[in-house]
Structure 1
């Protein structure tokens, strides 16, 4: 799906200064970021349900919604815990708005989620026309300009609104804009169809399976945690990768999940109660290394070489998320701050990793500074780190830099607009091994 205005255009940081790709590659990349990935992926918790058991549940849900024309559910080689839902046939998509229907306006974050198959939650609704009735079918638009006033009652007339699809109203105006201390929550509009072709099922996540982007699943497979190991997830919230780590370990071992936000850790713990191997802590991972040995402690900070494997899914600019319906100037101004925090976290990770251990660095962005440049910096700074193949491989190779040759870039995994990549979000994965020090 193409949008009338690419949100990156006119922003020099996003057009080249930060992305740092040649002009021939830049335009396809920016266009790709504005498109919706077509495939929906679930990661099945095989400790709770079989793959066939959850496949049956998905197929029943799709059949009830779309009948005999429901999309196919299929698996992927080398990722046995993954089930994918193919996009809908064209006649199920909703390409044009019905002018007789009332309109709902949502923000761009909500709009992007709708195009990925989500329903509309109350906080995302910017405007609803007056006299909109419960269970009424409405046309849903995203406000690309950011100028729609929250709570508006008249039809929003702006050339930068884009049609997303149709939905059924589950919450009325007085519920959405009640001016009480408790903001409205829950599903406000249940999407019936959208323009992207992604099935509008909402999020079917449960203890049995999690709706998750494919590269995030691949990332933990690259880490390859084993039963009985000590594993650290340095920036763990919202906890999907943490749960996947525990599942691959058969919930046998010691998994530490750190995040510096108390609210995010509380939300994460609610999802991870089923795992006995996970210990979650509110902690700043840039200070995770203990200045001296600590006897008998199971929480942060930790002594040197405490972990067999470490996942550093670092805070990043998030420019791999698709579709990107808007990109504010404020975001552009902070892009250059991310490599600094990523390097500080990486320095901690190297010291916390045991000799012979594995460190996986990942981001959900496409900027060179936060991806390949970080790898080149790490290899030059830490002589005991060696880059190894980030497999299983579902993305393409990394970019070649003056200080990162093709032999090394081929070991990286970058998800982007390439025939070598599945149609998913932008993502980056690098895998390192810490060499054992040989005493002479």
Structure 2
């Protein structure tokens, strides 16, 4: 059975099982099936309401210090001298939590000259899970504007980082970010990640997959309706992207799959559907010391217990964006 067929079977069972409280949906102006996902995901109506009530101020405001140019303590001192209040972000060695600042972060001189990059607390974690420090061939298969590609470059400034995206506009933004941060080892391709095998094999590969962005619900830009059919379309694309990306790994190579979504359908179900259809791959523990384990049961659908090695992040539990991260090795 193909990965897409396995996925569709799971999606069908989930769709039939979801039931949600209509009063909660009305209160937050969301489809009933969307609220049903949160109740099923979090285990109770009470916690689903906690998830829905989280706002932008409940998520840590963080930056990634560009340690190729300045260390974290020195940047902290420079920002504090300009009346910002900062502290180390304990889950990333180059992260700072900005507790208060008199001006927008993007307006600081230190930002303009590339001493830091504005990046969410969970967004920094997939590259830490990837550990690209000693790899010689590295790819970011859906790079967008380059937040994680430049982070990979920061870990390994001596190896080429291949960055792919289907949006020319985003690649132009990546070029600007790479130039500002001094990440000169990034090679960008205007390419669909489903064609990545044409570029050869990789030692490390990040697939921060296009998704519904449901983990961004705390932010005004992310608070919108996401009906079940949108989730299912995203999951089908993610299966195709993940299959292609895994096939481009060399022996012993590792891939990190991540989304800024908390949906089971876009994460554990996608990963399990692909791994059950391909031989020669295994899940590796996401060694971050932070986050909840991956789900292995949801709305009547069960996946293998090794999916617990993935890591999940929730705004109301971890004060981060909603994120899910899995790590896979080619044997």
State the TM-score, normalized to the length of structure 1: 0.62
Matched, 1:343 2:252: no
**Which protein is bigger by CA-based radius of gyration?**
1
| Aligned pairs for 1:24-423 within 5 A | 24-35=43-54, 36=56, 37-63=58-84, 71=85, 73-77=86-90, 79-86=92-99, 201-203=104-106, 204=108, 205-206=111-112, 207-227=114-134, 229-249=136-156, 251-273=157-179, 274-290=182-198, 302-303=199-200, 306-325=201-220, 327-329=223-225, 333-401=229-297, 402-406=301-305, 408-416=306-314, 421-423=317-319
- Aligned equivalents of 1:23 and 1:32: distance in 2? 9
Tell me if the contact between 2:25 and 2:32 (Cα under 8 Å) persists in the aligned partners: no
- Aligned equivalents of 2:41 and 2:162: distance in 1? 40
Tell me if the contact between 1:358 and 1:431 (Cα under 8 Å) persists in the aligned partners: yes
State the TM-score, normalized to the length of structure 2: 0.81
CA drift of 1:240 comes to 0.7
- Aligned equivalents of 1:78 and 1:248: distance in 2? 15
Task: Describe the SS at the equivalent of 1:275.
Answer: coil
Matched, 1:21 2:40: yes
Partner in structure 1 of residue 5 of structure 2:
none
Q: Which runs of 5+ in 1 are unaligned?
A: 64-70, 89-116, 118-198, 291-301, 436-440
- Aligned equivalents of 1:23 and 1:403: distance in 2? 16
Task: Describe the SS at the equivalent of 2:70.
Answer: coil
* Higher RCO by CA contacts (8 Å cutoff, separation 6 or greater): 2
CA drift of 1:40 comes to 1.4
Q: CA RMSD in A?
A: 2.6
CA drift of 1:413 comes to 0.6
Compared CA separation, residues 346 and 8, structure 1 to 2 (3 A): farther
Q: Which runs of 5+ in 2 are unaligned?
A: 1-23
- Aligned equivalents of 1:312 and 1:7: distance in 2? 35
- Aligned equivalents of 1:280 and 1:237: distance in 2? 10
Tell me if the contact between 2:33 and 2:227 (Cα under 8 Å) persists in the aligned partners: no
Task: Describe the SS at the equivalent of 1:58.
Answer: helix
- Aligned equivalents of 2:256 and 2:73: distance in 1? 30
Deviations along 1:144-165, one digit per CA (max 9) or x if unpaired, are xxxxxxxxxxxxxxxxxxxxxx
- Aligned equivalents of 1:80 and 1:330: distance in 2? 34
Aligned residues: 296
Tell me if the contact between 2:231 and 2:265 (Cα under 8 Å) persists in the aligned partners: no
| Aligned pairs for 1:425-436 within 5 A | 425-435=321-331
Q: Which runs of 4+ in 1 moved over 4 A?
A: 4-10, 324-333
- Aligned equivalents of 1:85 and 1:377: distance in 2? 39
Task: Describe the SS at the equivalent of 1:13.
Answer: helix
Q: Which has the higher helix share?
A: 2
